[in-house]
Structure 1
Amino acid sequence: MKKIFFALFILIQSVIHSQNIDLRNLTMNSNLILFVESSDFDYGNKYINDHSKAGFIKVNNYEEILKNDSNIKFIDKEIFCPQSENDYYDSNMINGGGCMGIAESIDSNRKYYGILFFKKEKKKLTLLAHLFKSDFDWKNIIEKIKKVKEIEKSKSPEERYEKSIDYYLKCKDLPNSDFINYYRQVKFLKSDTLVLTEKQLILAKDNFLEGNERYYELISKKFPEEVKQFYINKMKGFLNQNEDEYFSSYDFSEAYERATNTNFMDDSVIGKLKGKLSDEITPKERIGIIQTLIQNAAQED
């Protein structure tokens, strides 16, 4: 019965966990985190009436306690497990924005691992999240959780901010708007732009040059030449496209604008030439325009 239910749970929950998760926030919002094997726990339901039920998870063992500041006994206890369409309604599913999850096939001869995140609410634990995909790098995820625990020990907002930025950069990620809004609220940040140390800026630049363009706003003024060359190289990549490949005039134009520090509404001769890329033109004409724009970008100071 457990294997059938577990497969069903993967099918349902993959809709939720197919989205990117901010592991820092998830760790900080959890009071108990367990690294488990699939035989260490069971899911179940208690039916209240014909239209609602109380879901629970019962943990009977664990591989490792990654965090525990709950002071609540959890072994062999029925812990509340919120369920979609019973305890909450996922907005993506209601509004048609969700993606279809595909259940993983379960091999009875194989061990499956996961991480359970619990939140303490009114002296009781509630399941907050369950990571379980078989292709997850568990060692890497556990190391990240332990690094977040070190951030939680910070003695000041300044230290917490700096360590958090270090964490995100090493994970090749960026904090979300809630993080920025909080540090603006406490007057640590003066704008929506993150403040980085010299060492952090170099790491952000390295992440950018590896292809993570989310760092553009942070590093473009500090490293203009590296940014310019990155986008010139990106523009050159469009010359290697086959004629039957989709050409994104938006992506090319953005690369040109960032390489030359111009904007979309460029009314110059070269700007009007760039605008022709969105028109119906032949591949030969497109290549000619791209070559001209690359040459112009390389000559820009």
Structure 2
Amino acid sequence: MRDVTQNCFLFISENIKKLNEIEKIKNDNKKYVKTVDWYIELMNNDCQYKIENIFTVGFINYYKSKGVIKEEIILQENQKIKAKESFLQGNENLYELIKKDFPEETDQYYLSQLYKIKNIADKSYSDYYDFQSKANIFLEQKEDLKIKFINETLTSDLADYTKNDAIDLILEFIETNIKKK
């Protein structure tokens, strides 16, 4: 346990140093690229230390005002590949950065995650919640209120066998819609 704590402390202090170096960069384009690189690299850490998405409205507005980006985060090709690899290793915070460039990979990743949850024998509330959250990624653009309602029932007080039927219906709906793309 002590090694993990020391490693995390070292990890955090190294990242503070990296951020200090990034802050010293005068060229806004270079600073932007280094910040995105730092964030993608940060998502690959072994510590329990994870940060939420840094690409907030403030971050985007700052780089828009500097003329570095137009509307949204722009990744260079090598950053896209790094972000995709990290996402496929489970760093789901990177989803928003890669979903447009790698729609098939992100769909397959989340579909496999949904099947992993489906195959858990004795699901807990958090398993149903995780399934619901991951399914929402597929369902957010759909206008089918019935399937959205079914997905919402996963965190209700229904019996597990009913929830498992709901999972089957949701997976069938998602797979049908993936094939239509």
TM-score (norm: length of structure 2): 0.71
What residue is the counterpart of 1:73 in the other structure?
A: none
Distance 2:8 2:152 in 1: 45
Whether 1:222 aligns to 2:92 is no
Whether 1:190 aligns to 2:102 is no
Distance 1:138 1:154 in 2: 25
Cα 1:285–1:134 shift into 2, 3 Å: closer
What residue is the counterpart of 1:266 in the other structure?
A: 144
* Equivalent runs, 1:232-247 vs 2, <5 Å: 232-243=111-122, 245-247=124-126
What residue is the counterpart of 1:251 in the other structure?
A: 130
- Paired residue type of 1:226: E
* CA apart distance, 1:184: 2.4
Distance 2:81 2:129 in 1: 28
* CA apart distance, 1:212: 2.0
What residue is the counterpart of 1:288 in the other structure?
A: 165
Distance 1:280 1:220 in 2: 33
Cα 1:168–1:285 shift into 2, 3 Å: same
Give CA-to-partner distance per residue, 1:199-223, whole Å, 9 cap, x none: 1111112222222222222111111
Give CA-to-partner distance per residue, 1:155-178, whole Å, 9 cap, x none: 411111111211111111643534
* CA apart distance, 1:234: 1.7
> Which residue of 67, 92, 110 maps to 1:231?
110
Cα 1:291–1:158 shift into 2, 3 Å: same
Q: What's the RMSD between the two structures over aligned residues? A: 3.1
Higher strand share: 1
> Which residue of 22, 34, 37 maps to 1:166?
37
Give CA-to-partner distance per residue, 1:239-258, whole Å, 9 cap, x none: 24454622565532332232
* CA apart distance, 1:152: 4.4
Cα 1:154–1:235 shift into 2, 3 Å: same
SS at match of 1:195: coil
Distance 1:217 1:167 in 2: 16
Higher helix share: 2
Contact kept in structure 2, 1:169 and 1:204, CA below 8 Å: yes
Structure 1 unaligned segments of length 5 or more: list them.
1-132
Cα 1:260–1:222 shift into 2, 3 Å: farther
* CA apart distance, 1:142: 5.0
Structure 2 unaligned segments of length 5 or more: list them.
44-50
> Which residue of 40, 59, 67 maps to 1:179?
59
* CA apart distance, 1:289: 2.1
Which of the pair has more CA radius of gyration?
A: 1
Whether 1:298 aligns to 2:175 is yes
Distance 1:278 1:134 in 2: 35
Contact kept in structure 2, 1:228 and 1:260, CA below 8 Å: no
TM-score (norm: length of structure 1): 0.46
Whether 1:151 aligns to 2:22 is yes
SS at match of 1:135: helix
Contact kept in structure 2, 1:232 and 1:259, CA below 8 Å: no
Cα 1:286–1:140 shift into 2, 3 Å: closer
* CA apart distance, 1:141: 4.3
